[in-house]
Amino acid sequence: MDLEKYYWQRYRLFSRYDEGVLLDDESWFSVTPGKRVVYKSEDRLATHRQRVLLSNVISSAEKIAEHIADRLSCDVVVDAFAGAGGNTIQFARTCKHVVAIENNEKRLQLAVHNASIYEVENSVEFILGDAFEMMHALAGIADAVFLSPPWGGPCYADEKLFDLSAMKPYSALFVVSRALELTPNVAILLPKTTTEKQILRFLKLNCGNAPDLCEVEYNYLGSRLKTITVYFGNLVRDTF
């Protein structure tokens, strides 16, 4: 796997990379990239029981991960797919307690190590396991849940349209539905090739459990669209 282009973006992923941040191959393309997003324009789109706020955003000097952490600021946040800790580290800055769950032991060790580089490890509870097999233990604890599920590697970017139902091992519908059992305050990070039509269809399928309002946010680095974040519950901005 050619990781050179990700290496050249290392300071966008971790500003303190040179202080000893460690990543495995998958983590290079799974970490939420840098740059804070700033709102440019808004549009509303209605569907069955949901209104979808579509927000175009441009990058400035901060990180997308920091921006998401600011939006999820709360007492207890669950990072259900912690990976090497990119989002976990930022959540530790804005939340009192972070529950970071990762099902790969070596990758979880990377997250622990990287959190120590940023000196936030004392604010994080690292758990090895499948987030959806331990949901019952998190009931009544989580104020917000962040989902950054596997998309299938960097090859997803070669696909003109990303199929939300094809995400493995869990579909987007499954992960959001399970997270909403814990709290209405859920955010999910999706590939840039996810279409508005797919998101609307997803909401219709999930309308029995989803909140009445969600927000779709487009995250850019410079002029390039990198990811899409969908927010539910109280995470949706009330200033439309």
Cα Dmax for the chain: 49
Q: Are 75 and 97 in contact (CB under 8 A)?
A: yes
CA distance 120 to 89: 7
Q: For 16-51, b where at least 16 C-beta lie within 10 A, e where not — what string?
A: ebeeebebeebbbbbbbbbbbbeeeeeeeeeeeebe
Please name the residue that has the structure tokens 């669209």: 225
| Closest-CA residue to 131 (of 105, 167, 99) | 99
Is residue 191 reached through a cis peptide bond, with omega within 30 degrees of 0 on the bond before it? no
Q: To the nearest 10°, report the CA torsion of 202, 137, 74, 199.
A: 0
Stretch 68-82: mean pLDDT: 95
7 or 222, higher pLDDT:
222
Per-residue pLDDT tens for 116-164?
A: 998 999 999 999 999 989 888 888 899 999 999 887 655 555 667 877 8
CA distance 223 to 60: 11
Classify residue 238 by burial, with Cβ atoms within 10 Å: 0-12, 13-18, 19+.
Answer: exposed
169 or 44, higher pLDDT:
169
| Closest-CA residue to 215 (of 81, 35, 39, 65) | 39
Task: Indicate the length of the chain as a whole number.
Answer: 240
Please name the residue that has the structure tokens 């989002």: 87
Q: State the CATH class of domain 4-235.
A: alpha beta
The CA distances from residue 158 to 135, 152, 154, 155, 161, in Å, are: 33, 11, 8, 5, 9
pTM: 0.77
CA distance 138 to 178: 11
Q: Are 227 and 147 in contact (CB under 8 A)?
A: no
Stretch 101-110: mean pLDDT: 94
Per-residue pLDDT tens for 84-96?
A: 888 999 999 999 9
Q: Are 64 and 37 in contact (CB under 8 A)?
A: yes
202 or 148, higher pLDDT:
148
